[in-house]
Amino acid sequence: MTDRSRALQIKDRVRKRTGYRFPGRISSVFRILDENGDPTGPMRVVVQCTAPDVKNCLHIFAPEQLELVDEV
């Protein structure tokens, strides 16, 4: 495991904390748009899977669902 105290960034290696692991790399970090179209909502992270069976599949997670890892 790597340092969990820093913000998640594009290219970080991560996996889902519980349930199915979904190992991958972060391809995008963004905020959900509010009713006015402004990016002020909760943070979301797009992870590109590195597992061979579903390689390159994209999934959107809340940051608290993910943990940084040294290798995926």
14-72 pLDDT, tens digit each: 999 999 999 999 999 999 999 999 999 999 999 999 999 999 999 999 999 999 998 64
Q: Is residue 8 part of a domain?
A: no
Q: Is residue 32 part of a domain?
A: yes
- E-assigned strand segments in 1-72: 13-16, 24-31, 43-49, 58-61, 66-68
**pTM of the predicted protein model:** 0.86
Q: Is residue 1 part of a domain?
A: no
pLDDT at 1: 42
Q: Is residue 4 part of a domain?
A: no
Identify the CATH number of the domain in which residue 58 sits: 2.30.30
Look at residue 2 and tell me whether its pLDDT is greater than 70.
Answer: no
pLDDT at 36: 95
User: What total of structural domains would you count in the chain?
Assistant: 1
**Domain range for 24:** 13-68
pLDDT at 4: 52
Q: Is residue 23 part of a domain?
A: yes
Q: Is residue 25 part of a domain?
A: yes
